[in-house]
Structure 1
Amino acid sequence: MNICVFCSAADLDDRYVLPARRFAELMGEGGHALVWGGSDTGLMKVMADGVQQAGGKLIGVSVEFLAHKARAGADEMVVTKDLAERKAQMLARADAIVVMVGGMGTLDEATEILELRKHGLHTKPVVLLNTAGFYDGLQEQFRRMESEGFLPMPLVDLVFFAADGAGALAYLAERAGDGA
Structure 2
Amino acid sequence: MNICVFLSAADLDERYTRPAREFAELLGKGGHTLVWGGSDVGLMKVVADGVERAGGRLVGVSVEFLQAKARPQADEMVVAKDLAERKALLLGKSDAIVIMVGGTGTLDEATEILELKKHGLTDKPVVLLNTEGFYDGLKQQFQRMDEEGFLPVPLTDLVFFADDGVAALAYLEESAGVQ
Q: In the TM superposition, what is the alpha-carbon distance from 1:13 to its structure 2 partner?
A: 1.2
User: 1:37 is aligned with what amino acid?
Assistant: G
1:140 to 2:140 alignment: yes
- Consecutive unaligned residues of structure 1, counting only runs of 5 or more, are none
Q: In the TM superposition, what is the alpha-carbon distance from 1:177 to its structure 2 partner?
A: 1.5
3-state DSSP class of the match of 2:27? Answer: helix
> 1:171 maps to which residue?
171
User: 2:79 is aligned with what amino acid?
Assistant: V
User: 1:90 is aligned with what amino acid?
Assistant: L
Instruction: Please show how residues 156-167 of structure 1 align to structure 2 within 5 Å.
Output: 156-167=156-167
3-state DSSP class of the match of 2:167? Answer: helix
- Following TM superposition, the consecutive aligned residue runs of length 4 or more in structure 1 with deviations greater than 3 angstroms are none
> 1:77 maps to which residue?
77
3-state DSSP class of the match of 1:171? Answer: helix
1:137 and 1:72 map into 2 onto residues whose CA distance is: 36
Aligned residue pair count? 178
Instruction: Please show how residues 11-160 of structure 1 align to structure 2 within 5 Å.
Output: 11-160=11-160
3-state DSSP class of the match of 1:123? Answer: coil
TM-score (norm 2): 0.98
1:152 and 1:143 map into 2 onto residues whose CA distance is: 13
Q: In the TM superposition, what is the alpha-carbon distance from 1:129 to its structure 2 partner?
A: 0.2
User: 2:25 is aligned with what amino acid?
Assistant: E
1:92 and 1:5 map into 2 onto residues whose CA distance is: 13
1:26 and 1:173 map into 2 onto residues whose CA distance is: 12
- Consecutive unaligned residues of structure 2, counting only runs of 5 or more, are none
3-state DSSP class of the match of 2:79? Answer: strand
TM-score (norm 1): 0.98
